[in-house]
Amino acid sequence: MPVERAAIRKSLERLTGATGSRLDGLTARVFVDFAMCFSDLLSTNREPSARLASYVAGTDGVERLDGLTGGLISLTAHVGNWELAGRLLAGRSARPTHVVVAPEEARELERWVRRDGEGVRFVTRSRPTVSLELVAALRRGEVVAVQGDRALGTRGDTMISFFGRPAPFPLGPFLLASAVGVPLVPAFCVLTADYRYRVKVAGPIAVRRGDEEDAARAWGALLEDVVREHPTQWFNFFDIWDPSNG
């Protein structure tokens, strides 16, 4: 995967400032961490949610969810095992969770990585009117889980500073939150040194009409902190500052 390796190396150089053999080591580590998270994804998808807790070494801020009533948007990124976080949090909230996903590039993978059940339902972004379903779910007090770190390449992207350079980020989650009047709750699930996971839930981001880009910038700053702490667990195998580049 020379193209992906080159993209990861370039990103890590910017994220960490590493060069030479240290950069080589970090680059290799991304693929190791990804393999670990992906294999865990395949196995955790087949286990009941009650057993997922055995994968978790600890949590930070999960209790924040207990005080939230009504609909909310769980905002995450391609960091660590984000799908495990979704299943764990869905089990905890006891509210249906609609996970918004891009149509899987490798369709034969779908049945392995996307399994509905136990309060989790995958919603493929295959048609524009799917957003009406999400509005309805939030109004019913349910959870919509979305990824907030991959631009769509449409007018729905906004440029925000990320590690000192403008990068396109999707504005959709913030527009959805402000339109329905629900908070965004950032959540991550990172691999620990003993190959278990730590679930981190940050404070809710409230979005008022017209302030969506400010909210996106707040999200970008938070994501920077997480990626700075876990640079080899950010799984974007392309140039996120210029997605059209390769």
Partner 1 sequence: METEKVLEELKDIMVERLKFDPSRTSELTLATVLPKGMEGSLGLDSLDFIEMSIAIEERFGFVIDETQNVETHFETLGTLVAYIALHATGG
The helix/strand/coil state of 194 is coil
φ and ψ of 185, to 5 deg: -120, 105
Question: Of 32 and 130, which CB lies nearer to partner 1 in the complex structure?
Answer: 130
Question: Of 79 and 176, which CB lies nearer to partner 1 in the complex structure?
Answer: 176
Instruction: Tell me how many helices (H) and strands (E) the chain has.
Output: 7, 9
Q: For residues 53 and 57, what is the distance between their CA atoms, to the nearest angstrom?
A: 8
Segment holding 229, helix H or strand E: helix 212-229
Distances (CA, A) of 79 to 112, 145, 157, 231, 234: 19, 14, 20, 9, 5
Question: Of 122 and 188, which CB lies nearer to partner 1 in the complex structure?
Answer: 122
Q: Check residue 172 for interaction with partner 1 (CB under 8 A).
A: yes
Identify residues 12-41 at the interface with partner 1 (CB under 8 A): none
Candidate residues 21, 107, 127, 164; the one interacting with partner 1 per rule CB under 8 A: 127
φ and ψ of 26, to 5 deg: -65, -40
Identify residues 175-214 at the interface with partner 1 (CB under 8 A): 175-176, 179
Number of residues that bind partner 1 (CB under 8 A): 20
Question: Of 48 and 153, which CB lies nearer to partner 1 in the complex structure?
Answer: 153
Q: Check residue 130 for interaction with partner 1 (CB under 8 A).
A: yes
Identify residues 140-169 at the interface with partner 1 (CB under 8 A): 140, 154-156
Residues that bind partner 1 (CB under 8 A): 125, 127-133, 135-136, 139-140, 154-156, 171-172, 175-176, 179
